[in-house]
């Protein structure tokens, strides 16, 4: 998706540890117009699998999940990292490693909002190692829901996430695929393989 790729090139920054900082338009400050474009495209790609819920993890996955769900006309459920007092005592809970936090985080969903028979589409900001997405998959399966697809804004193909998800047998889509992070950000669809970013 060219609009997202352009923003990564103009505002993305590569940090130590293979982290791509996109805080100015996705992860801290959110560009709602860009997120709407991304959600519309993800909804188009997954319309045929007829999801009834979009599932994501707080907090960076919420913006793309919300706009995708809006264009699909279905609710969003996001896994909480801390259980609020408003949640029932019995919840669906798993843990997943967080690349940016450098530790394991809880992913918690109330059974009120993820039930047997739901057709779940997982949407997140990044597909990197696939660890967070696999945590969301575990939550969906524990709830008795059917996983129908996985989408991400940005895929870092060199971290092996897509391969980790292959055995799930569902459609996996990313709007932008990055094959290399270093002095330059290299995108999968770059014929020259040399797109600059600061």
CA–centroid distance for 11 within its chain? 20
pLDDT for position 101: 67
Residue 122, CA distances (Å) to 69, 73, 77, 151, 159 in order? 10, 15, 10, 6, 19
- Taking only the tens place, the pLDDT of each residue in 17-40 is 889 999 999 999 999 999 999 999
pLDDT of residue 1 exceeding 70, the answer is: yes
The C-alpha atoms of residue 114 and residue 109 are separated, in whole angstroms, by 7
- The residue ranges of DSSP E strands in 1-156, in sequence order, are 13-15, 19-21, 53-57, 76-79, 92-98, 103-109, 119-127, 146-156
Q: Report residue 149 CA to chain centroid gap.
A: 11
Start-to-end C-alpha separation, the chain: 20
| 0.85 surpassed by pTM | yes
Q: What pLDDT does residue 194 have?
A: 42
Q: Tell me phi and psi for residue 143, to 5 degrees.
A: -75, -10
State pLDDT tens for residues 90-123. 999 999 987 666 789 999 999 999 999 999 999 9
Distance (Å, whole) CA 157 – CA 161: 7
The predicted structure's pLDDT at residue 2: 96
Q: Does the domain formed by 2-196 have CATH 3.40.50.2020? A: yes
**Spatial distance between the Cα atoms of 104 and 94, rounded to a whole number of angstroms:** 10
pLDDT of residue 124: 97
Could you report the per-residue pLDDT of 130-160, keeping only the tens digit for each? 999 999 999 999 999 999 999 999 999 999 9
For the cut 80, the answer to whether the pLDDT of residue 125 exceeds it is yes
> At residue 195, does pLDDT exceed 80?
no
Phi, psi of 195 (to 5 degrees): -100, 125
Q: In the chain, what are the domain boundaries?
A: 2-196
What pLDDT is recorded for position 128? Answer: 95
State pLDDT tens for residues 28-85.
999 999 999 999 999 999 999 999 999 999 999 999 999 999 999 999 999 999 999 9
């Amino acid at each position: 998706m060219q609009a997202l790729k352009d923003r990564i090139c103009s505002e993305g920054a590569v940090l130590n540890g293979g982290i791509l900082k996109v805080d100015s338009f996705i992860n801290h400050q959110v560009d709602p117009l860009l997120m709407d474009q991304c959600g519309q495209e993800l909804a188009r790609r997954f319309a045929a699998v007829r999801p009834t819920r979009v599932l994501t993890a707080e907090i960076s996955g919420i913006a793309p999940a919300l706009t995708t769900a809006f264009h699909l006309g279905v609710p969003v459920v996001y896994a909480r990292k801390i259980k609020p007092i408003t949640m029932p005592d019995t919840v669906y809970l798993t843990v997943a490693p967080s690349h940016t936090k450098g530790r394991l985080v809880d992913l918690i969903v109330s059974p009120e909002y993820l039930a047997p028979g739901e057709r779940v589409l997982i949407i997140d900001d990044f597909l990197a190692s696939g660890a967070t997405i696999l945590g969301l998959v575990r939550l969906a399966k524990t709830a008795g829901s059917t996983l129908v697809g996985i989408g991400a804004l940005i895929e870092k193909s060199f971290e092996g996430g897509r391969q980790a998800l292959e055995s799930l047998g569902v459609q996996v889509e990313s709007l932008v695929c990055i094959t290399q992070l270093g002095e330059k950000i290299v995108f999968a669809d770059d014929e020259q393989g040399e797109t600059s970013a600061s």
